[in-house]
Structure formats: C-alpha cells, structure tokens
Amino acid sequence: MTADVSLRAWGLEKSYVVQSIRTQALSGVSLALHPGELSLISGPSGCGKSTLLSLLSGLSRPDRGEVRALGTDLCALDDAARDAFRLVHCGFVFQGFNLFPALDALEQVQLVLDYCGIPHDVGRRAAARVLDMVGLGPRQHLRPAELSGGEKQRVAIARAIVKRPRLLFADEPTSALDSVNGAIVTDLLREIAHRSGTIVVCVSHDPRLIARADRVIEMEDGRLCRDSRGASRSGATETCP
Amino acid sequence: MAVALARKTLVHEWRRFLPAVMSVGFSGVLIIVQGALLLGIVGTNALPVTQSRADLWVGFPGTQSADLGRSIDAGAAAELLVDPRILRVEPLLLGSGDWRGPRGGGVSVTLIGIDTRPDGLGLAEAMPRSGRALLTEPATVLVDAADLDKLGTAIGGAAEINGQRVRVVGTTDGMRAMGGVNVVASLATVRALDRSLAAAGDVTYYLAALRSPGAARAVKARFSQSETRKRFEVWTAEDLAGRSVRYWLLESGAGVGFIFATIVALLVGTLITSQTLTAAVAASTPQYATLRAIGVPFPKLRRIVVEQAAWVGAVGLALGLAGSLLAAALAYLNGIPFALGPGIMALSGGLVLSVALLAGVLALRRLRHADPAALLR
Ligand SMILES: Nc1ncnc2c1ncn2[C@@H]1O[C@H](COP(=O)(O)OP(=O)(O)OP(=O)(O)O)[C@@H](O)[C@H]1O
Ligand SMILES: [Mg+2]
C-alpha cells in the first residue's frame, strides 16, 4: 500500500450569508491535484477561486463535501489539529507579501522554523540556503522597506517553502508585480513543484503564469469548467456546458 | 535563541509604542511621587520616633500616633529596669508652645524635651553630639535648619516661647514637620516652658536601649501583660512609627485621596496603553494572519502581544523610576519630606506592570481579526 500523496476534494459546497443575502461561492467542486505539478486555478473575479484555495488548504471548512490532503481528511480535524497539519505540510504565498517590517529577510524566513521547533543555528542556515535559492542571498539582511516588490514576494516564497511543505498555496502571487518580477516568481513556483515534488496550487489570472503552468483549472460561478494539461493545453478533460 | 519578533518590532516601531511607554512611565511617576510625598508628610508625625535610636518606646496605653502621646507615671522607669535585657532608659517629653520671634506673630510649636547626655537616645539621628551638649544650658533650644526662615530666626537669635525667653543655639536636621514646628530642648527647659508638664514628674515616653536589639519583641511581650498594660504600653520603634503613619493616613483622608488618584492614573495608563497596543496589533494583522495560515497556533501569537506589553511595561517602569528619583532629588534639595522607600516603589512597579499586561490582554481581542482565511479574497 502506498501513501496517498495527493490533494483531493469531492463535492465541495460553500456559501456565505451576509445581511441575509446568500452567496453560493462554490457548488459541487471535485478535483485531484498531484505532486510535482504547478496547478493553476483561474477564472473571473468572484467565481470562488480563493474560497476553493482556503478549503483545500484547511483554512476553512466546506458546508458540504470532503477534502483529503496527503491521506488526511481535513474536514474531520478540529481547529487545533488543522493548525498542526498546516504547520507541518502547508506553505502560503499571498498577494500582499505580509512581511514583518521589523525583521530582515533572513529573520522572516527563520521565524517560521522557530515555530516548527527547529534549533536556532540549524534554522538560520536553512533560511540562508532558501534565500540563496530564490536569489536573495546577498540581500538577506535587508528589511522589507529596503526591498523591491519582487524581492519581497521572493522572501515570502522563501518563507513559505523553508519548512519543505508538501503543499504550497499561492493566491495571486504575481498580481502586484511587474512582468519581469512576475516571471521570476512564476519560474520559482514551477521549479519548486518540479524539483521537490510539492503540490503547488496557484490562483491567478496572470496570462504569463497560465502559460507556464502544468495544469490549468478554469472556474466560473463556483464550478470548475475546464481542466487542461501540458503546454499545448490540448488535453481538455472537461468544458463548461 | 529564537527571532525576537516582539522586541524587534518594539525597537523598529518605537514611535508607535512611545505613547504607551510614556503613559506607563507617567502613571508610575504619579503613583510613586504622590505616595512618597504622602508618606513623607504623614511620616513627619513619627519624626520623634524615627530620628531617635531607642529600641523600645514606652508610653500611654493605646496611643495611636507618636505625636499624640500622653503622660505616664515616672515610676515606669524603675519597673522597666528590672529586666536585665534593658541597658538603660531615658525620658522624652512632648509639649506645646507659642513661639514669638523678634518680628512678632505667633507660631505654635511642638516642644520636644530630650536627655542631653552625649550618648542620649532621643533624636540622636537629628543632631550631632555637640548640638546636644549646647542644650545643657537652661533656656536654650534647637530648631530645624529648614524652619529657620519660618520662625524668622537664626542661630544665636532670641525668641519667646509661652512668654519665656529662649535662645536658639543650633539646628537640627530632618526634624521639619508638616503641620507645626519642632523645637528641641533639654528636659528641664521643656518642663519650664510648658506648665502642664512642669508640675508632675510625669514623662511622655520612656526610650529604652537594649543590650541586644534582637530582643526587642521578647522584652515588649514581657511588658504587655495586662497588669502593666493599664499603666503603660511598650512598642518597638518600628511599631510606633508605623502606627503613627497608619493613623494619619486614615485620619487625614489623604490616604483616600491617594488611592483615588492612583486609580485614575492606572485607568488613564491602561486606556492609553491598550489603545497603543491594539493599534500595533491591528497594523500587524496580515502578518499575524500569515503566521496563523502556516499553522502557528493562536496562543503563540498571544504570546507575542503579551511580550510586547511586558516590554512596554518594563521600559515605562524604568522611565517612571528614573523620573521618581529625579523628583526625590528635587524634594531633597528643597527640604520636602519625600519617603521614597522600596515599599512604594514595589507597589507602583507592580501596579504599572499590571497596567501594561492588562492593556496587552485588552489588545488581544484585536488579534481575533487575524483570520488567515481573510487573506484569501
Ligand atoms: N468571507 C466572506 N464573506 C462573505 N462573502 C464572501 C466571503 N468570501 C468570499 N465571499 C463571496 O464568495 C464569492 C467568491 O469569492 P472568492 O473570494 O472566492 O472569489 P475569487 O474568485 O477569489 O475572486 P477574485 O478573483 O476577485 O479574488 C464572492 O461572491 C464573494 O463575495
Ligand atoms: Mg481571490
């Protein structure tokens, strides 16, 4: 029996009620994501991409449906257990870089390892190595105020991957960046998926990202409507009705 | 050592935290200065006790404050000396008088009569031995150096007390009282000046020196039996001083004023500090939410905020103590009674640190906004 290394979801439903107006954010979403792939979720604004990401990563629970990550049923875990699961397995990159203004790049990355209970010296070396990998070795002692947007996002990526998560989630990681920096970040995410076999799930409507993804999942109105693979995207498995 | 997020943020964004640190510091100064002044002022009623070197004080049963002493029978001395642990006993008299200086106008004064022998116990801390010797001459008095102006006199000056001429032959140090003026003289001079003391051989207090000061409690206990307690009561010096301070704290209402002002200082401090800390948490909400997303449990975030609050409290307290020492120096230079003791500093330190921590706890509510799902929109 081999361990389940994928991220799967069945029949996800999620709705929000604000001032007695009900919004169906997701209706009946099922999908399976695989290691070593950069999967991209795209679609018009408000179609439920971010909501799907937060359910897949265990940040929130679906109204109905099931999420099974690396063989663990996320919906069956309580909050503390999901925290513990994310601490071990999940990395996140957000549109806003969310770096602490008081810490330099090295400390931002190292902080995560502190919380994982990794000894200071080991953590420091690991953090420096990952910053090197994202091309920020020489700039590791600069604070966010002294870094460009692209550099900040690379620090955020380093922070997300330093603990070697099996699942990496990114929500619009390039939308605040210019094209050069966007391309750098895109390549980084791809490389992480290919090199370390991480499941990388990225939400974006950035065409550059779409062009370089291994798999593109398109959504509309809370449903998946297209799922295509490969550079040519010839293998469309499903299309909107 | 882990990345010191709380401390680094505090240093990096010190401008943001400054109001909190200042408000904690000011609360501290306010409480300490008020308390020290109050204790200093109230403590002047215990000056005859605190400025003397006696181990035990013997006075009228039930005396509530040192300055309210009433006469006891001179026979008490013989009774006391029966105990071999008592080395010697000397009388101290408290009387009152009306001072008239060369410029006219009356000042009511407290007369303190002491034994003038060179190694006398009474007010030994307030004057040099030479000052004591000067009082052997009849109708001579010492006044406090800080009271010379108030009495309109100088060393060598003459005045009248209760209509009798006296000469100021020297000064005492640290005998300035808040209410009246302390005038020190020999036992005989005080009996001559205050007629109510003249008649009887009675004394206000007996001051006892013990062979070993450690025996004070035991000797006190021996003379606290019911048949002696009808005639006199024995206190250790600290007992009588503490009793005097407590009596005036309650009696004067100043204690209530102090408590009220302290509560106000604490409230304002808590308010400003919690506002500042809340704003700091709010500014870092996305960062905290990111930590939550990667699985850092909520209690660990709480620790960051509480640690920040503790730092604010500690730095504020240090400022407050520095300010209080400055106030103490100013008070000393101006001869103002200012009892800056470890008690009041510990009290204020404790209160001020609790203010900071309470403010931190209030700021924690804001941490609930650090919902990682909110970063995904
Ligand atoms: N916390 C929430 N409370 C109320 N409604 C929400 C909440 N989160 C999402 N929604 C609603 O759910 C729907 C899907 O939102 P979602 O954020 O997933 O869209 P999206 O595809 O990420 O859009 P965008 O591309 O603009 O980021 C939207 O209509 C949104 O208004
Ligand atoms: Mg979104």
Yes or no, beta carbons of B373 and A90 under 8 Å apart? no
Within 13 Å and on the Cβ side, how many CA atoms surround A28?
A: 1
B contact test, residue of A103, A159, A168, A204 with most B CBs within 10 A: A103
Closest residue on chain B to A143 (Cα): B12
* Closest to B23 measured CA to CA, from B325, B326, B273: B273
The pLDDT-based confidence of B44 (bands split at 50, 70, 90) is: confident
Indicate the domain borders of chain A. Answer: 30-56+90-239
- Give residue A16 CA to ligand 2 midpoint distance, Å: 15
Collect all residues from B whose CB is shorter than 8 A from any CB in A.
1-3, 5, 8-9, 11-13, 284, 286-287, 289-298, 300, 372-373, 375-377
- Give residue A49 CA to ligand 1 midpoint distance, Å: 8
Q: Does A115 touch chain B (CB under 8 A)?
A: yes
The CATH architecture annotation of domain A30-56+90-239 reads 3-Layer(aba) Sandwich (3.40)
Residues of A in contact with B2 (CB under 8 A): 111, 114, 120
> Which of the residue ranges A27-31, B26-30, B228-232, B268-272 would you say has the lowest mean pLDDT?
B228-232
For the segment B55-60, the average pLDDT, to the nearest whole number, is 94
Q: Which atom of ligand 1 is nearest to the CA of A49?
A: 21
Which pLDDT does position A154 carry in this prediction?
A: 93
Token couple for A9: 């979801």
Which pLDDT does position A1 carry in this prediction?
A: 45
Hey, whose CA ends up nearest to atom 26 of ligand 1? A45
Hey, whose CA ends up nearest to atom 31 of ligand 1? A46
Q: Does A16 touch chain B (CB under 8 A)?
A: no
For the segment B226-232, the average pLDDT, to the nearest whole number, is 79
The pLDDT-based confidence of B300 (bands split at 50, 70, 90) is: very high
Residues of B in contact with A110 (CB under 8 A): 3
Hey, whose CA ends up nearest to atom 2 of ligand 1? A16
Closest to A98 (Cβ–Cβ): which among B9, B287, B298?
A: B287
Q: Does A54 touch chain B (CB under 8 A)?
A: yes
Yes or no, beta carbons of A98 and B372 under 8 Å apart? no
Which pLDDT does position B278 carry in this prediction?
A: 92
Burial class of residue A34 in the structure, from the number of CB atoms within 10 Å of its CB (0-12 exposed, 13-18 middle, 19+ buried)? middle
User: Is the beta carbon of A149 within 6 A of some atom in ligand 1?
Assistant: no
Q: Report the complex ipTM.
A: 0.91
- pLDDT tens, position by position, B230-269: 889 999 999 999 999 889 888 878 788 888 888 998 899 8
- pLDDT tens, position by position, B90-132: 999 999 999 998 877 788 999 999 999 988 999 999 988 888 8
Residue ranges of chain A with pLDDT lower than 70? Answer: 1-3, 230-241
User: Is the beta carbon of A45 within 6 A of some atom in ligand 1?
Assistant: yes
For chain B, the three-class secondary structure string (H helix, E strand, C coil) is CCCCHHHHHHHHCHHHHHHHHHHHHHHHHHHHHHHHHHHHHHHHHHHHHHCCCCCEEEECCCCCCHHHCCCECCCHHHHHHCCCCEEEEEEEEEEEEEEECCCCCEEEEEEEEECCCCCCCCCHHHCCHHHHHHCCCCCEEEEEHHHHHHHCCCCCCEEEECCEEEEEEEEECCCCCCCCEEEEEEHHHHHHHCHHHHCCCCECEEEEEECCHHHHHHHHHHCCCHHHHCCCEEEEHHHHHHHHHHHHHHHCCHHHHHHHHHHHHHHHHHHHHHHHHHHHHHHCHHHHHHHHHCCCCHHHHHHHHHHHHHHHHHHHHHHHHHHHHHHHHHHHHCCCCCCCCHHHHHHHHHHHHHHHHHHHHHHHHHHCCCCHHHHCC
Q: Which ligand is nearest to the CA of A15?
A: 1
Which pLDDT does position A3 carry in this prediction?
A: 67
The number of angstroms, rounded, from the C-alpha of A241 to the middle of its chain's C-alpha atoms is 28
Which pLDDT does position B251 carry in this prediction?
A: 81
Question: At residue B345, does pLDDT exceed 70?
Answer: yes
Yes or no, beta carbons of A59 and B376 under 8 Å apart? yes
User: What's the rounded Cα separation, in Å, for the pair B152 and B168?
Assistant: 11
